[in-house]
Amino acid sequence: MANIGLLIAGGSGNRMHQDIPKQFLTVHERPVIVYTLEAFQNHPEIDAIAVVCIEGWDQVLWAYAKQFNITKLKYVVPGGKNGQDSIRNGVYELEKHFDKDDIVLIHDAIRPMVSAEIISDCIAKTRKYGNAITVIPCAEAMMQTENGEESTGSYPRDNLKRTQTPQGFTIGKICDLHRRALEAGITNSVASCTLMIEMGEQVHFSAGSEKNIKLTTVEDIDIFKALLKAKRSDWLKD
């Protein structure tokens, strides 16, 4: 059975306030999306990579794949009007080329620090349970609020998980989920895991990491650079 990495790079990144989409910003002479592509390219269990790409950037993506030797990139699919739309475009394309029991790992292109261990655990848990959502524990005290300015209650953090990506599914299951969601009028769920819950499905967890950050703001780029520097230091010690 095949394992496919589906990178979602359909967003414009308005919160980053940059002139180009954040997934194509260059950090240490490499576009962000290339770091993410390399994580899946270098993983021995990943058989193919597909990317849902923002309009007008597909040729740039293919050029980067050639430049950085991303040989597993096989499909580039147009993005949609929101995240759910983009993911649906991606999984529907994969359905044409792979079996329903093959596994797709849906991953944010702007999570470039995803480790081999995270990818492996997501694949293993998806094989075992049919789906796997990468999560980390909630370490902070969680406050409830109605207006965003004050609180009179808290929520037990042990009952919460912070979700990341990849989020793994069999191709048949995730395509069926999207079809049923459209029939139910659900068109803007924030993530595959929330779509599962909204459709009455149970999700299973796989192990994430605090380092598996999502690059949403300029501050996140600073953290990413620091993590890259720390990783280089580790290499030097070997």
Total residues found in the chain within this entry? 238
Q: Which helix (H) or strand (E) holds 231?
A: helix 218-237
Q: Could you read off the pLDDT of 57-88 as tens digits, one per residue?
A: 999 999 999 999 999 999 999 999 999 999 99
Q: Helix (H, G, I), strand (E, B), or coil: what is residue 5?
A: strand
pLDDT of residue 25: 94
pLDDT grade for 13, boundaries at 50, 70 and 90: low
pLDDT grade for 14, boundaries at 50, 70 and 90: low
**Per-position DSSP letters for 62-88, written without gaps between them:** HHHHHHTT-TTEEEEEE--SSHHHHHH
Work out the average pLDDT over 37-53: 98
For the entire predicted model, the pTM comes to 0.94
Cβ within 8 Å of residue 82, ≥6 positions away = 187, 188
Q: Is the peptide bond before 112 cis (omega within 30 degrees of 0)?
A: no
Q: Could you read off the pLDDT of 142-192 as tens digits, one per residue?
A: 999 999 999 999 999 999 999 999 999 999 999 999 999 999 999 999 999
Write down the domain spans for the chain.
Answer: 3-140+155-237
Whether the pLDDT of residue 116 is over 50: the answer is yes
**Per-position DSSP letters for 83-109, written without gaps between them:** HHHHHHHHHHHHHTTS-TTSEEEEEET
pLDDT of residue 77: 97
Q: What is the CATH number of domain 3-140+155-237?
A: 3.90.550.10
Q: What is the dihedral of CA 97, 100, 102, 104, to 10 degrees?
A: 80
Is-contact 62 76, C-beta < 8 A? Answer: yes
Query: What one-letter code names the amino acid at 16?
Result: M
What single-letter DSSP state applies at residue 140? Answer: S
Scan for tokens 């990579």, then name that residue.
Answer: 49
Strands 26-27 and 205-207: unpaired
pLDDT of residue 144: 94
Is-contact 109 8, C-beta < 8 A? Answer: yes
